[in-house]
C-alpha cells in the first residue's frame, strides 16, 4: 500500500505509543504504573452526567449545528466573561470534538505552506505535528529548566519576523507544568504589539489546574484581542477526556473558517456531550477546587520525591499535572548490559526495569527530559518514584 507522503511524515503520538506499550505489558499480567497519559483520574461530576442522561432521554440524537448548539455557544461566552474577562459573541465560538480538533482547525484556517509558527519548546506533542501536516514551518523557541521553561520577551522578539504567522503555546503547560503569571504574559504582549500580523493561539485547557490562582488570557489585552484565539475544553478541568469537547473563542473570520473546515470534516460535536457541556460551562468554577487541591498535593509529593533522586533536575510546576525532569546525566550510562543513549532509551529501559511508563522528551521538543503525568493516586506516585530511584541507581 502506497501511503501519502503527508502521513508518512507524521509521527505517531509518543504519549499514546508509550501508553499502548504499558497496556500490552499490563495485559500480560505485569504490574506497570502508567505515568505516560495526560488524563485526570477523577470521575466526571454527577451533575454533568445527569445533563447527558437527560439529553439522551430528550432525544438529542440528531446532527448538531457545526459550531455547536446556540445555547452552548452562549454558555461559553458567559464562561469566557466570568472566568477570563473576555467578551465574545456566540458567532465567535466554535465547539469541536476535543481541543485537539479546535487547534488543528485553527492551524488549517491560517497556515499556508512555509508560514512560520513559533512554538516555545517544550511544547505539547501534537502542536508540531499539526503545523507540519499543513506544511507550516515549526520554529522551536527552546527554553530550559533554568528559566522554568518560560519564553522571555527578548527570546520571543528574536524569533518573530515577517514570515511569522502564529505563536502557539499552552499555559499551564503540557509537558512542563509551567504557568505564566499575568505580568509575564503582559510583558510578552508588549512584544506582540510590535508584530500586528501574528496570530496568537493560547491553549488554556489546563486553566482550572493552576496552583497560582487565575489563568490570564492574552486575549484580555485589548490590542491583541482581534488576533488571539483562545482554546479551551472539557477534558482536563472536568475529567471528561472521553466525551470529546473543545472550543475556541476567536476573531470572527477565523471562527467562520473553522466552521467551514469542520463542516467538511466531522460536522458538529456530539449532541449529548454538548448538552452536558452546557452544565459544565454554567458551573461555579469553585466546584473544581477539590480536584485542583488533590493535584496540588500530588505535585508537592512528586516534587519532594524527585528531589531525592540523584542527578535529575526539576522545576516547580505551577499547573497541569506533569513533571518534566532533566535526565540527560543518565545518557551514555549503562547497567552493565544496556547502554542508555537518550531519553527514549531511558524510558524504554525504565519500563522494563522499573515497570513505570513515562514519555521521552524528544517529541515535546526537549530531548534531555522525560515527562511523568501525576494524574494518579498518591500511593502510585510514591511507588513509581521509588521504583525509578532504585532503577536509576543501577546506571553508571
Ligand atoms: C496542552 C493540550 N492541549 C490540548 C489537548 C487536547 O485536549 P482534548 O482532549 O480536548 O482534545 C491536550 C491533551 O492532552 C493538551 O495537553
- Angle formed by the axes of helices 46-57 and 271-282, to 10°? 140
Rounded distance from Cα 99 to ligand 1 centre (Å) = 6
Mean local confidence (pLDDT), 356-378: 95
Rounded distance from Cα 126 to ligand 1 centre (Å) = 9
Indicate the top mutation candidate among 38, 40, 176, 205 to test ligand 1's pocket, ranked by most ligand atoms within 8 A of CB. 205
Give residue for cell 543501577: 394
The minimum-distance atom of ligand 1 relative to the CA of 99 is: 10
Output the ligand 1 site: residues, CB below 6 A: 38, 98-100, 124, 170, 174, 203, 205, 233, 235, 241, 246
pLDDT of residue 174: 97
**What is the DSSP code (8-state) at residue 241?**
T
Residues 315 and 352: their CA atoms lie apart, in Å, by 26
All three cell numbers of 358: 513515562
pLDDT of residue 39: 87
Do 268 and 68 meet the contact criterion of CB atoms below 8 Å apart? Answer: yes
Rounded distance from Cα 337 to ligand 1 centre (Å) = 38
User: Nearest-CA neighbor of 201 among 103, 109, 73?
Assistant: 103
Q: Confidence band (pLDDT; 50, 70, 90) for 96? A: very high
State yes or no: pLDDT of 11 exceeds 90.
Answer: no
State yes or no: pLDDT of 108 exceeds 80.
Answer: yes
State yes or no: pLDDT of 13 exceeds 80.
Answer: no
The minimum-distance atom of ligand 1 relative to the CA of 234 is: 10
Rounded distance from Cα 100 to ligand 1 centre (Å) = 6
Query: What CATH number labels 5-43+288-392?
Result: 3.90.1150.10
State how beta strands 33-34 and 246-249 pair: unpaired
Residues 278 and 47: their CA atoms lie apart, in Å, by 11
| Terminal CA-CA length for the chain | 45
φ, ψ for residue 116, nearest 5 deg: -90, 135
Instruction: Tell me the domain boundaries of the chain.
Output: 5-43+288-392, 60-284
Residues 264 and 262: their CA atoms lie apart, in Å, by 5
Rounded distance from Cα 377 to ligand 1 centre (Å) = 21
Q: How many CB atoms lie within 10 A of CB 311?
A: 14
User: Nearest-CA neighbor of 55 among 208, 248, 232, 243?
Assistant: 243
Do 84 and 257 meet the contact criterion of CB atoms below 8 Å apart? Answer: no
Rounded distance from Cα 61 to ligand 1 centre (Å) = 26
Rounded distance from Cα 238 to ligand 1 centre (Å) = 13
Count of CA atoms in the C-beta half-sphere (13 A) of 286: 0
Residues 188 and 131: their CA atoms lie apart, in Å, by 22
pLDDT of residue 165: 98
pTM for the model: 0.96
Which architecture characterizes domain 60-284 according to CATH?
3-Layer(aba) Sandwich (3.40)
All three cell numbers of 192: 506582540
pLDDT of residue 140: 97
Rounded distance from Cα 174 to ligand 1 centre (Å) = 8
The minimum-distance atom of ligand 1 relative to the CA of 170 is: 1
Do 22 and 39 meet the contact criterion of CB atoms below 8 Å apart? Answer: no
pLDDT of residue 38: 85
The minimum-distance atom of ligand 1 relative to the CA of 39 is: 14
Indicate the top mutation candidate among 103, 233, 365 to test ligand 1's pocket, ranked by most ligand atoms within 8 A of CB. 233
Rg (CA), the chain: 21
Amino acid at each position: 500500500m502506497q501511503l501519502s507522503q503527508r502521513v508518512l511524515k507524521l509521527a505517531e503520538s509518543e504519549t499514546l505509543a508509550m501508553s499502548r506499550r504499558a497496556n500490552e505489558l499490563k495485559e500480560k499480567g505485569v504490574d506497570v504504573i502508567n505515568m505516560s497519559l495526560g488524563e485526570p483520574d477523577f470521575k466526571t461530576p454527577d451533575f454533568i452526567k445527569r445533563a447527558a442522561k437527560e439529553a439522551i432521554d430528550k432525544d438529542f440524537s440528531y446532527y448538531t449545528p457545526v459550531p455547536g448548539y446556540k445555547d452552548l455557544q452562549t454558555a461559553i461566552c458567559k464562561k469566557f466573561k466570568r472566568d477570563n474577562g473576555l467578551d465574545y459573541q456566540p458567532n465567535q465560538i466554535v465547539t469541536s470534538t476535543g481541543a485537539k480538533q479546535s487547534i488543528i482547525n485553527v492551524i488549517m484556517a491560517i497556515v499556508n505552506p512555509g508560514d512560520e509558527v513559533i512554538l516555545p519548546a517544550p511544547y505539547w506533542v501534537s502542536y508540531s505535528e499539526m503545523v507540519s501536516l499543513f506544511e507550516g514551518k515549526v520554529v522551536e523557541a527552546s527554553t530550559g529548566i533554568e528559566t522554568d521553561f518560560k519564553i522571555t520577551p527578548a527570546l520571543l522578539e528574536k524569533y518573530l519576523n515577517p514570515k511569522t504567522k502564529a505563536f502557539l503555546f499552552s499555559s499551564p503547560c503540557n509537558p512542563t507544568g509551567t504557568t505564566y503569571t499575568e505580568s509575564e504574559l503582559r510583558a510578552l504582549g508588549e512584544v506582540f504589539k510590535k508584530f500586528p500580523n501574528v496570530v496568537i493561539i493560547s491553549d488554556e485547557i489546563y486553566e482550572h489546574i493552576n496552583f497560582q490562582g487565575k489563568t490570564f488570557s492574552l486575549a484580555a489585552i485589548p490590542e491583541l484581542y482581534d488576533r488571539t484565539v483562545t482554546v479551551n475544553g472539557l477534558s482536563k478541568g472536568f475529567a471528561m477526556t472521553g466525551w470529546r469537547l473543545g472550543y475556541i473563542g476567536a476573531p470572527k473570520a477565523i471562527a467562520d473558517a473553522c466552521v467551514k473546515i469542520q463542516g467538511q470534516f466531522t460536522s458538529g460535536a456530539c449532541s449529548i456531550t454538548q448538552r452536558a457541556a452546557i452544565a459544565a460551562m454554567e458551573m461555579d468554577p469553585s466546584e473544581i477546587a477539590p480536584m485542583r487541591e488533590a493535584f496540588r498535593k500530588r505535585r508537592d509529593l512528586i516534587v519532594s520525591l524527585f528531589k531525592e533522586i540523584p542527578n535529575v533536575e526539576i522545576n516547580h510546576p505551577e499547573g497541569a499535572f506533569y513533571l518534566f525532569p532533566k535526565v540527560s546525566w543518565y545518557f551514555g550510562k549503562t547497567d552493565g548490559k544496556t547502554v542508555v543513549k537518550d531519553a527514549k532509551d531511558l524510558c524504554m529501559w525504565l519500563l522494563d526495569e522499573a515497570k513505570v511508563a513515562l514519555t521521552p522528551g524528544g517529541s515535546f521538543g526537549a530531548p534531555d527530559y522525560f515527562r511523568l503525568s501525576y494524574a494518579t493516586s498518591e500511593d502510585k506516585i510514591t511507588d513509581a518514584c521509588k521504583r525509578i530511584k532504585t532503577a536509576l541507581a543501577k546506571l553508571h
